[in-house]
Amino acid sequence: MEVYIRHLEKVLRRYVQRLQWLLSGPVLCSRTWYRWSTDRGVMMTAAPGSRRLFGTVLESKVCILLDTSGSMGPYLQQVKTELVLLIWEQLRKRCDSFNLLSFAESLQLWQDTLVETTDAACHEAMQWVTHLQAQGSTSILQALLKAFSFRDLEGLYLLTDGKPDTSCSLVLNEVQRLREKRDVKVHTISLNCSDRAAVEFLRKLASFTGGRYHCPVGKDKLSKMCGLLTKGFINENDPTLPPFEGDDLRRLAQEITKARSFLWQAQSFRSQLLKKNDAEPKVTLS
């Protein structure tokens, strides 16, 4: 039982480290302690990162589709800042080739094809990002059609704050047609989780293509998470994790909740065994 409990604690430490890593962003606390017992802890650190907004880039040949319609105006400066982080933090380190495409009433391509991920290319992409402006409608279908034409493409990362300007079912049907010829995963990122119709569309689009749906955690929830990670999850009376919209965080939170339940159960069994052993009469051999 002691060995089982130690393994559960190790699993929980890894889960919480992963949660901290996925949540890492400029507003998360920079140093926190996760308390496992009165005399043992694991140090957590966080630095500004692109995963909070974009999630984790998994493929090596990708295209980022960025909504620059008029409704994106309030978010655009922050998105541009974190897109630059994405270029250097994930695309440069993990991807062989990439491209950037913004869409509103029309499309703006950084390059005509996927290009090799070099320092020079990343510098050029960063400069291109700084000139993006928000205006017009949301031509998601046009952007997807163009992106699917890129040779060797493996993954698309679509960031938007709403539904397309065309029928959602039309977009899904067109993507189905495209995927019959090419196995490309579409990962979707929603900047407006309160628009449930848009969220449902983006969830379907991601699930339909084998991708993941992501919704960045807001600053208020991040601040609460910082305190929660500091306090810890080890005791039954400790607060539970808040609900997450995005697939990765939601699944990880479910695993943490399950592991906590197993840990409390094991601790209860251990306590009962110790009480039983203490109550049993001691037999001595003469």
Full pLDDT tens readout for the chain, 286 residues: 899 999 998 888 888 888 888 887 443 343 332 333 333 343 333 344 788 889 999 999 999 999 999 999 999 999 999 999 999 999 999 999 999 999 998 999 999 999 999 999 999 999 999 999 998 888 999 999 999 999 999 999 999 988 888 899 999 999 999 998 899 999 999 988 778 888 999 999 999 999 999 988 877 777 777 666 665 566 666 677 878 888 999 899 899 889 888 988 998 898 898 888 877 766 666 5
Three-class secondary structure of residue 148 per DSSP = coil
By the 8 A CB rule, do 207 and 172 touch?
no
Domain residue ranges of the chain, discontinuous segments joined by +: 1-53+226-277, 59-211
Q: CA-CA distance, 252 to 209, in Å (whole number)?
A: 21
Q: How far apart are CA 142 and CA 109, in angstroms?
A: 12
Q: How far apart are CA 47 and CA 56, in angstroms?
A: 15
Nearest to 141 by CA among 109, 178, 113, 187: 178
Residues 6+ apart with CB under 8 A from 3: none
Considering only CA atoms, which of 142, 73, 81 is closest in space to residue 106?
Answer: 142
Distance CA 284, CA 282 (A): 6
Q: Tokens 């379907």 appear where?
A: 204
Q: In angstroms, rounded to a whole number, what is the distance separating the alpha carbons of residues 265 and 262?
A: 5
The CA distance from 274 to 47, in Å, is 44
pTM of the model: 0.81
Instruction: Return the pLDDT at 29.
Output: 40
Fold annotation for 59-211:
Rossmann fold (3.40.50)
Residue identified by tokens 């990362």 is 157
- The answer to whether 189 and 55 have CB atoms below 8 angstroms apart is yes
- Rounded CA separation 259/238 (Å): 14
DSSP letter string, 250-267: HHHHHHHHHHHHHHHHHH
| pLDDT score, position 235 | 64
φ/ψ bin of 232: left (φ > 0), alpha (ψ from -120 to 50), beta (otherwise): left
The closest of 154, 156, 164, 147 to 67, measured between CA atoms, is: 164
